Chains A and B, each alone.
Chain A
Amino acid sequence: MVQFVLPRNSRVKPGKSHKAPAGAKNVKEFHIYRYDPDEKKNPTLDIFEVDLDEIGPMVLDALLKIKDDIDPTLTFRRSCREGICGSCAMCIDGINTLACLKPIADVKGPVKIYPLPHLEVIKDLVCDLDHLYAQYASIEPWMKTKTPMPKQERLQSPEEREKLDGLWECVLCFCCATSCPSYWWNGHRYLGPSILLQAARWVMDTRDEGQGERLDDLEDPFKLYRCHTILNCVKACPRGLNPAKAIADLKVLMMERIL
């Protein structure tokens, strides 16, 4: 549903300020969204001063430094720290991205860090991804075949395999989905760029024999056609993928089977 203003209990208020230790020379401010479900209070924006000389170059390094040395209650997801797991997705400096791939040096002034937009916040920078994962399950992301199991693997030529480039690399961080206004307003029905890119990954796979059924399931004014080519998804994707093109390719296939 369209919401232009945050609900009263979600409005962000000023929070605590943590100064850098004396003698720190290369200090950068990090403004971080904090929300604790156990305290019945509005979210706050805490300010942490971090000495950049003591940490690595990425925003995730700063977050780990804050959690380790300043405030252990700061909560966020992280795992691989190299852009493969998609866990540390958050809104940094106004753009959804992975904290492990975002250089601190790219941000002028204080580094503002919020959770992914328009999802329910569980705690601090951790959002509820249940609906997105359920939408992912709904497109049945596995190979569907009618041909009996072959003795060896199902074959695919190098040219056929190339069709999956730009699709298989998605790590399901949901930076794209949560940057899409169409997904903000109609996420309960619209599948969003991340799930549609995944759907395209299976539709385009020449080993898959369920292409028609997959397209049947996608043909819907909301599931697929809510994409208005706003292209925030392309700007947000930390892996440099193009979900908008994947969606356009799905629409072209819809056209091919009707015209």
Chain B
Amino acid sequence: MAMRSALGRARGIGSAKDGFHHWWIERLSAIALVPLTLWFASAVISVAGADYATFSAFLAKPWNAGLMICFICAGFLHGKMGMEVIVEDYVEPRCVQVAVRIFLNIAVYVLGVISVVSVLTVAVRG
């Protein structure tokens, strides 16, 4: 039987003194993704149906490889932060929520690194 006062429950274990950073990076990555997504769409259209040599030549240009890596990083970062909020909102119980967040973080960093290395490999090796 819980006999803790209502105020005790409401105050709980206090403020985390954190939250701004997550909110801020989520918005910054969203803003960055607007031009990056437009660039990515135009890039996909420009090399659509092309052979591998044309595509690797496209990615070998520093601007294209750089913007592709920026798009991947911003996309994964924004996706990770958005998913974290969804998991916090909807996944219960707490132990499952924490487990999902750990898995999410590992998955995003592994996939992100693989994606960036792939771009660099195609850009450098052709």
Contact = CB atoms under 8 A, between A and B. Distances in A.
A218 interface: yes
B85 interface: yes
A221 B84 CA distance: 11
Chain A, interface size category, equals 20 to 34
Interface in A116-168: 130-131, 133-135, 137-138
A214 B15 CA distance: 11
Interface string B106-124: 0000000000000000000
B85 to A, nearest CB: 7
Interface residues of B, number: 22
Given A216-B15, A219-B15, A221-B88, A134 B10 contact: yes
Interface residue SS majority, chain B: helix
B77 to A, nearest CB: 17
Interface of B: 5-7, 9-12, 14-20, 22-24, 85, 88-90, 92
12 contacts: A131-B10, A134-B5, A134-B7, A134-B10, A219-B18, A219-B19, A220-B19, A222-B88, A225-B20, A225-B23, A228-B85, A254-B20
Interface of A: 1-2, 130-131, 133-135, 137-138, 182, 185-186, 188-189, 216-226, 228, 251, 254-255, 258
